[in-house]
Amino acid sequence: MSEHSQELSGRLGFGCAPMLGRVGRKESLRALAVAYDNGIRHFDVARSYGFGEAEALLGEFLAGKRQHVTVTSKFGVVPPRNTRALSLAKSLARGWIKRMPGGRRMVHAASRAALSQRNYEVGYARACLEQSLRQLRSERIDYYLVHEPLSPEVLTDELQRFLDEAQRDGKIGQWGVTIDSPEISATPMAQQAPAWLFEANLNVLDRLHAGMGAGRQRFLSRPYGGGPDSLAASAASRPVRDAVSKLGLEELTEQELAMHFALSLAGEHGIVITSMFSEQHIRENLSLLDRYRALGERGPALAPTILGGGSPRPCRNGPCTDMPEHEPA
Average pLDDT, the chain: 87
Average pLDDT over residues 212-231: 94
Q: How many domains does the chain have?
A: 1
> H-type helices in 186-278, by residue range?
188-192, 227-235, 238-247, 254-266
Average pLDDT over residues 253-282: 95
Average pLDDT over residues 109-122: 74
Task: Give, as one character, the DSSP assignment of residue 152.
Answer: G
Q: Encode pLDDT of 187-216 as tens digits.
A: 999 999 999 999 999 999 999 998 899 999
Residue 35 domain boundaries: 3-307
Determine which helix (DSSP H) or strand (DSSP E) holds 165, and give its type and residue range: helix 157-168
Would 278 be classed as within a structural domain? yes
d(CA 234, CA 254): 9
Q: Encode pLDDT of 311-321 as tens digits.
A: 433 333 333 34
Would 55 be classed as within a structural domain? yes
Say what the pLDDT of residue 323 is.
40
d(CA 8, CA 211): 22
Q: Encode pLDDT of 153-187 as tens digits.
A: 999 999 999 999 999 999 999 999 999 999 999 99
CB contact set of 41 (below 8 Å; sequence gap of 6+): 6, 9, 10, 68, 69, 70
* pTM across the whole model: 0.85
Note whether 74 and 43 are within 8 A (CB).
Answer: no
Say what the pLDDT of residue 326 is.
33
| Residues shown for the chain | 329
Q: Encode pLDDT of 295-311 as tens digits.
A: 999 999 999 999 985 44
d(CA 302, CA 267): 11
Say what the pLDDT of residue 82 is.
62
Would 328 be classed as within a structural domain? no
Q: Encode pLDDT of 35-54 as tens digits.
A: 999 999 999 999 999 999 99
Confidence of residue 9 (pLDDT cuts 50, 70, 90): confident
Would 32 be classed as within a structural domain? yes
Say what the pLDDT of residue 90 is.
53
Say what the pLDDT of residue 218 is.
97
CB contact set of 222 (below 8 Å; sequence gap of 6+): 199, 200, 201, 273, 274
Say what the pLDDT of residue 196 is.
98
Would 127 be classed as within a structural domain? yes
Confidence of residue 101 (pLDDT cuts 50, 70, 90): low
Determine which helix (DSSP H) or strand (DSSP E) holds 106, and give its type and residue range: helix 103-114
Say what the pLDDT of residue 241 is.
96
Say what the pLDDT of residue 318 is.
37
Q: Encode pLDDT of 134-154 as tens digits.
A: 999 999 999 999 999 999 999
Say what the pLDDT of residue 152 is.
98
Would 322 be classed as within a structural domain? no
Mapped onto helix, strand or coil, the DSSP state of residue 277 is coil
Closest to 293 (Cα-Cα) out of 56, 12, 1: 12
| Phi/psi at 206 (5° precision) | -70, -15
Say what the pLDDT of residue 135 is.
98
Average pLDDT over residues 251-279: 95
Would 284 be classed as within a structural domain? yes
In this structure, what CATH number is given to the domain that contains residue 297? 3.20.20.100
Task: Give, as one character, the DSSP assignment of residue 74.
Answer: E
Residue 111 has pLDDT above 60, yes or no: no
CB contact set of 33 (below 8 Å; sequence gap of 6+): 61
Sign of CA dihedral 100, 104, 110, 114: positive
Would 276 be classed as within a structural domain? yes
